[in-house]
Each structure stands twice: as structure tokens, then as C-alpha cells.
Structure 1
């Protein structure tokens, strides 16, 4: 029988932009023989008191009270192949509709209710779905039209500008050493796992946006497009230096 992940420590539900909120919390995993503890970020979109949760993070009872004060959870959006552990909790608690890419495997084995597709329907008004078509594992992003464009990503673009309070000391030091802490980062771990072509990132970086909210890190305001272009060029230079 499937068991929900526990509600690990997290922060307050905070304003990011008008009708867009976020909350940062803890993620604990075991990978390659190592226990890891990092942070992860859930984005909450509100429209007419109906909420859409993107990149879910299970909240404590106090956190759920804050969430419920915003409105009623109606939709859940899973963008990344390696996320979704808390989707079943919200799906069952609120009877919410789960949206995911068709290839994504749900944590509890149930199929999604609605399929995400490039340019296809999205539960929040005006949201445009972007798909990394060359990635080995399913990964999407969504562009919101407000505030000059808000890009929401999962693992493909992260924004750990620093080691925040939800990291363990050991994992924080490890991620710094591995170069995984940085703004508008295209992490080597995701690139190695998913082997995307750079054409996906060129398409992504050409979208009309000013801001970024990733599943990892705090919102990046104003300079997200410029910084993503810079990180993309860095990745290209690194690839050129790799031995054939």
C-alpha cells in the first residue's frame, strides 16, 4: 500500500507575484548510497479562489491552514520526472485533478487525470506548456503571462543562489563542491540523467519571460531570461571542452 511522504519542515506560504505564491520546504532522498537533504519549492497559482499547485511539497497542518486561506485546491501539476512524491496526498485530500506529461510515472501508480502537452491546456488561465522534447525522462515547464512573463520549471532550471536553511550541512557542502549551487542553473545532475539537446534550452530561453520560479530555490525576479541565456552559454562552453 502506498504511504504518503511525511510533512517535513518548511517555511511560510509567501507572495511571489499577484495571485502567485510559493513555499520552500525540505526534501530527503537516498541516491547513489548517500543520504541527501535539500530544499524544494512549491508554486501556488490562484484564480477566482481556485488553487493550482505546481511541484508539490507536503505541508504541515499549519501550512495547510495557510494554503486553505488562499482558496480551494483544484489542480496539481507535475512538471518533472523526479518529483511528484506528494501529489497523491493533495489529490486525495482535495479531490484535485492531476496534470502530468503522459510518460510520467505517478508515485502511487495511478494515471494522471489530464495530460500536459506542448501548447496544450493548462489549468491556470494563460499558462503555456513547454516540453523538453529531447530529454530522456519527461520534463516540462510553464510560462505564465503576468508580470512580463513568469517561467515555472522543475529540475531542468534551478535557482539555488545559496545553501538555504532546508539543506543539511553535509548536502550543502557537497552541492557547493559539485557546482550545483547557482542562479538560473542548468544542473549537471539533470543534464547527465536526461541528456537533453541544447536546442531545448534555446527554445526555452527564447520564451518571453522576466522571472523564474523553480522547484529548487527562491523566485528569481527581473533578470531570469538574461541569466538563463548566460548559463546556457556556459554549458555549451563546457561541452566543447569535454573530450570526444
Structure 2
């Protein structure tokens, strides 16, 4: 029998754009030899009454009841190799189709139903996919062609402007010293693990967008592209 991670503390589901929902929860994990407690986000896209979960965060019973009011969960999508601990719960609970990138390490009891690739089939309409091609661990970004373009990222793009209620004090101090709390940032742990090259960000700059919903940090609503382009230049001089 599959063992699921318990539901950790989380906030309420918010509709941040029409038919696009966002919820912030908790994560505890070991990084660089110590335990960290920090926040992580799940995005839910509604398309013709069907829901797609991206960057899954397990909700408690009350949260699941609110999710069910939004529509029917039909897809669970993994776009980052460093996330996915709650994918098995949602796939099993809703008998959902599971999407993942080729080469992702998924749990042994979890079957990838559909591969997520550039130019391939997408989990919902008005959607395209960007793949980081130079990285050591699979990572991608879904672009929703609504509201001027919505980038749904995992660890690559982040927007931890400041710590929130789901951090513990020790982790706040550690991450502040490492410059995690920067608007329109790149994921520092992701950079360390995946080692992307400038070529990926040259390609990423060609994709227009207005908003960014990331696996970590606050929703970046309006004028996100210019801020992230400055970040790409700061890290990679592109």
C-alpha cells in the first residue's frame, strides 16, 4: 500500500487570475546537512470545469473539500525534479492522469501516464511547455496563454520576497543569509543541483509573459517579465 506524506499546514486556495488558483503550504527537508522548514506552492488551472494540479501540495480534508468545489481534478503535472512528494496522493485520490518530464525520478508505485515535452500534448488548452535543456535534473515551465501569458514554474523561477508563516525561524535566518528572499529570483538550491547554462535563459527570454506563479514565493501578478529578464542578466549576463 502506498504511503502518503501527511498534510502539512497550508493556507487557503486563492483565485489569483480567472480560473487559476494558488495555495501556499509547508515543506520540511534536509538541505546542505541541516533540516529546513519553508513554504511551497501549488497551482491549479481550471479548463472547462476540469482541474489540473501543478506542483502538488497535499491539502487537509477542509482544503480538499474547497478544491472539489472548484471542479473535477483530472490531471496531476510534475514540472520539477525536486518536487513531487504529494503527487501519489492526488493521483490515487482522484484517479488522475499523471504527467511528468522524461527522466524524472518518480515514486516506485507511480506510473507516468503522459510525457510532458516541448511541442507535445498538453494537459489543458491554451498551454505550451518550455524545457530547460542544459540542466542535470529535469525542469520545465508551463505557459498559460491567458491574461497576457502566465508562467507556471517550479524551482527555476521563484518570488520569495520575504519569509511567510510557513517558515521556522532558523530556516529564515539561514535563507536570508544566503539571499533567498529576492523578488523575481532564480531558485538557488535549483541552481546548485541542476547547473543550468546561459543558453536556456536566452531561449526563455523569447517567451512573452505578464505573470509568474512559482513553486516558491508569492504570485507575481503584472509586469513579471521585465523583472525576471533583469534576473537572467544578473545571473547569466544574457
TM over 0.5: yes
1:110 is matched with 110
Alpha-carbon distance between aligned partners in 2 of 1:109 and 1:181, rounded to the nearest angstrom: 36
1:242 is matched with none
Alpha-carbon distance between aligned partners in 1 of 2:109 and 2:41, rounded to the nearest angstrom: 23
1:81 is matched with 81
Cα distance, 1:31 vs structure 2: 2.4
1:176 is matched with 176
Pick closer, same or farther for the CA change 1:109–1:138 going to 2, 3 Å: farther
SS at the partner of 1:37?
strand
Alpha-carbon distance between aligned partners in 1 of 2:78 and 2:60, rounded to the nearest angstrom: 20
Alpha-carbon distance between aligned partners in 1 of 2:86 and 2:147, rounded to the nearest angstrom: 29
Alpha-carbon distance between aligned partners in 1 of 2:201 and 2:54, rounded to the nearest angstrom: 21
1:97 is matched with 97
1:209 is matched with 209
Aligned ranges for residues 28-67 of structure 1 at < 5 Å?
Answer: 28-67=28-67
Gaps of 5+ in 2: none
String of CA shifts for 1:183-223, please: whole Å, max 9, x gaps: 21113321121111111112112211010000101210112
Contact 1:2 1:108 in 2 (8 A): no
Cα distance, 1:141 vs structure 2: 0.5
Cα distance, 1:109 vs structure 2: 4.5
Alpha-carbon distance between aligned partners in 2 of 1:119 and 1:24, rounded to the nearest angstrom: 30
SS at the partner of 1:183?
coil
2:8 is matched with 8
Dislocated runs of 4+, deviation >4 Å? none
SS at the partner of 2:184?
strand
Alpha-carbon distance between aligned partners in 2 of 1:36 and 1:154, rounded to the nearest angstrom: 18
Alpha-carbon distance between aligned partners in 1 of 2:23 and 2:45, rounded to the nearest angstrom: 12
SS at the partner of 1:41?
strand
Alpha-carbon RMSD across the aligned residues, in angstroms, is 1.4
TM-score by length of 1: 0.94
Alpha-carbon distance between aligned partners in 1 of 2:83 and 2:133, rounded to the nearest angstrom: 18
Contact 1:88 1:108 in 2 (8 A): no
1:185 is matched with 185
Contact 1:79 1:141 in 2 (8 A): yes
Gaps of 5+ in 1: 240-244
SS at the partner of 1:129?
strand
Contact 1:5 1:86 in 2 (8 A): yes
